[in-house]
């Protein structure tokens, strides 16, 4: 794996998982950018020649020609693209979280839950029956669209999650179901695949246990997600520091002009 040039710009700290996490994030960003590029400047064109003339000003013409003739225009790639498109359109439940991964949404929800618990403990108002469980919040975050609605099938599953939550509270006084178990209860069990929880999520066995290899894979996946979040934070911090330095320099110039230094 080649080291991205981004390492020359920022200090990401140490850790064997960091280069892999950065590589995954950069690959995802590139694929999403290329997808938007295709939709805006290639798909709408009636011929390859017309697509060539639609080359964006920010793209090198040689590279653009390779994309339209050797990649997007390649018969095998077109066939693969059509199959993927048909599969996407046939899905009864469509994702509503965009480019954000399910693993990252889970991580953010867990952080929110920890913060809420700390606040409740400080205020001595701990009540386990209050608030929606993480599995309900995750389904809403990942399946409710911007118009506030679910797909028909997603709406049915949401009601099933709600019924599961109400049953747990009614029968046990509190809903303490973990995310994996709740999803398995509503979405069903699939060997080798954590249904609804994204790629890389450890798979439960039929008895609800996780294998060591799957747990290790989960740890590595979460480490990658954490590294990407930390990388974004450090990037914003460096940008803010740079802006502060620029403001200080401008202020110093003004003070020099008016003789305050």
**pLDDT tens by residue, 159-216:** 999 999 999 999 999 998 888 888 888 988 777 777 778 766 666 665 555 555 555 5
Task: Report the predicted TM-score, pTM, of the whole model to 2 decimal places.
Answer: 0.53
* pLDDT attached to residue 248: 84
Strand partners for 204: 210
Nearest to 228 by CA among 35, 8, 1, 15: 15
Instruction: Report pLDDT for 15.
Output: 63
What pLDDT is recorded for position 2? 52
- By the 10 Å C-beta count (0-12 exposed, 13-18 middle, 19+ buried), 90 is classed as exposed
Q: Indicate whether 71 pLDDT > 80.
A: yes
Q: Under a CB-based contact definition with an 8 Å cutoff, are residues 103 and 194 in contact? A: no
Report, as an integer, the average pLDDT of 250-258.
Answer: 79
Q: Give 69's contacts (C-beta < 8 A, 6+ positions apart).
A: 48
Q: Where are the alpha helices (DSSP H) in 1-151?
A: 18-41, 48-53, 61-65, 75-90, 102-122, 134-143
Residue 240 reports pLDDT greater than 60: yes
Q: Tokens for 82, please give them.
A: 């059509």
Q: 105-163 pLDDT, tens per residue?
A: 888 888 888 887 776 665 554 444 457 899 999 999 999 998 989 988 999 999 999 99
pLDDT in tens, 8-63: 777 766 665 677 777 777 787 888 899 899 999 998 888 999 999 999 999 999 99
Predicted pLDDT at 3: 55
Please provide the average confidence, as pLDDT, over all residues in the chain: 80
Q: Domain-by-domain residue ranges, the chain?
A: 17-90, 102-210
On whether the CB atoms of residues 137 and 109 are closer than 8 A, the answer is yes
| Structure letter (DSSP) for residue 147 | T
């Amino acid at each position: 794996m080649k080291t991205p040039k981004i390492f020359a710009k920022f200090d990401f700290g140490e850790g064997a998982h960091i280069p892999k996490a950065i590589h995954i994030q950069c690959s995802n960003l590139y694929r999403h950018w290329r997808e938007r590029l295709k939709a805006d400047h290639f798909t709408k064109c009636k011929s390859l020649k017309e697509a060539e003339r639609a080359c964006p000003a920010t793209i090198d013409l040689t590279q653009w020609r390779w994309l339209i003739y050797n990649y997007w225009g390649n018969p095998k790639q077109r066939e693969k693209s059509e199959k993927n498109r048909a599969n996407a359109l046939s899905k009864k439940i469509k994702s509503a979280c965009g480019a954000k991964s399910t693993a990252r949404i889970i991580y953010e929800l867990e952080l929110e839950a920890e913060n809420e618990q700390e606040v409740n403990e400080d205020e001595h108002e701990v009540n386990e029956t209050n608030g929606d469980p993480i599995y309900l919040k995750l389904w809403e975050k990942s399946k409710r669209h911007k118009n506030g609605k679910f797909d028909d099938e997603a709406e049915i599953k949401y009601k099933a999650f709600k019924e599961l939550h109400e049953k747990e509270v009614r029968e046990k006084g509190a809903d303490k179901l973990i995310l994996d178990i709740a999803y398995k209860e509503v979405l069903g069990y699939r060997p080798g695949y954590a249904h609804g929880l994204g790629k890389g999520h450890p798979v439960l066995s039929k008895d609800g246990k996780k294998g060591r290899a799957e747990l290790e894979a989960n740890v590595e996946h979460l480490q990658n997600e954490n590294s990407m979040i930390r990388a974004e934070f450090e990037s914003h911090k460096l940008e803010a520091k740079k802006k502060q330095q620029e403001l200080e320099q401008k202020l110093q110039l003004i003070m020099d002009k008016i003789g305050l230094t």
